[in-house]
């Protein structure tokens, strides 16, 4: 029979669903750094076979969220400043790129959506609702990513941004959350003015502001 012409409703692949569940659990701390990851236990938890779990773990290892050693256990990667810095440089550059490409394409509705997301981010940050703040922040930045139409940059951001999200949970629990809201507001102004270069620079600076301190030595000073 000929291939049907009616498209089916979009449905995420099982591997992508498992990947998203595991990635979110690592980012929000449900799966803690250095925690051992057994594919059989994860498969039982998510109600899937071991195959999509193994595929998801390989993808997470490529992103730096999981550490897998041949012949040894697979663990949640620790939050290391060096790894965060590497991901930060890539993600900041990609956000600068998508913002520059998005500026001429952003509609008034897009700008209104950015303002609404930043208002929600500010309210959540002031209320101490970290999950809501991170969700609003993600929606804010996603508007420019979508408007740019740059799928390659979007894929790179999706792969490496979760490495930063774990560290961002520390930032948004502090005074830096308010500074992020101010940068968001300025970014909206630049986008509305059509200043793509300045908006791109600010977007990059926004992602470069994220810093984390090395974990203290449990044994104390030498």
Q: Give the C-alpha separation, 66 to 34, whole Å.
A: 9
Same fold, 14-76 and 81-208: no
Tell me, yes or no, if the pTM score tops 0.75: yes
When comparing pLDDT for 16 and 90, which is higher?
90
Query: Within the chain, where are the H helices?
Result: 14-27, 39-46, 50-63, 81-102, 108-127, 130-148, 151-171, 176-193, 196-208
- pLDDT tens for 90-123 read 999 999 999 999 999 999 999 999 999 999 999 9
For the chain, the domains span 14-76, 81-208
Tell me: domain 14-76, CATH 3.40.50.620, correct? no
- pLDDT tens for 129-166 read 888 998 999 999 999 999 999 999 999 999 999 998 88
CATH topology of domain 81-208: 1.20.120
């Amino acid at each position: 029979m000929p291939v049907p012409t009616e498209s089916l409703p979009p449905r995420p692949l099982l591997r992508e669903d498992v990947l998203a569940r595991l990635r979110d659990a690592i980012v929000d701390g449900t799966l803690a750094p250095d925690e051992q990851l057994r594919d059989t236990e994860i498969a039982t938890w998510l109600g899937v076979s071991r195959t999509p779990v193994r595929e998801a773990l390989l993808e997470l290892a490529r992103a730096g969220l999981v550490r897998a050693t041949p012949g040894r256990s697979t663990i949640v990667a620790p939050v290391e400043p060096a790894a965060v810095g590497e991901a930060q440089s890539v993600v900041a550059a990609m956000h600068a790129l998508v913002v520059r490409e998005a500026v001429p394409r952003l509609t008034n509705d897009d700008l209104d959506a950015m303002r609404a997301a930043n208002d929600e981010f500010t309210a959540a940050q002031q209320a101490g609702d970290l999950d809501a703040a991170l969700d609003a922040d993600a929606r804010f930045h996603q508007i420019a990513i979508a408007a740019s139409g740059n799928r390659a940059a979007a894929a790179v951001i999706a792969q490496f941004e979760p490495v930063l999200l774990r560290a961002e949970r520390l930032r948004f629990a502090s005074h830096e959350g308010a500074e992020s809201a101010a940068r968001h507001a300025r970014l909206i102004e630049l986008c509305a003015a059509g200043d793509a270069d300045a908006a791109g620079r600010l977007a990059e600076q926004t992602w470069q502001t994220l810093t984390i301190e090395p974990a203290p030595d449990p044994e104390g000073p030498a």
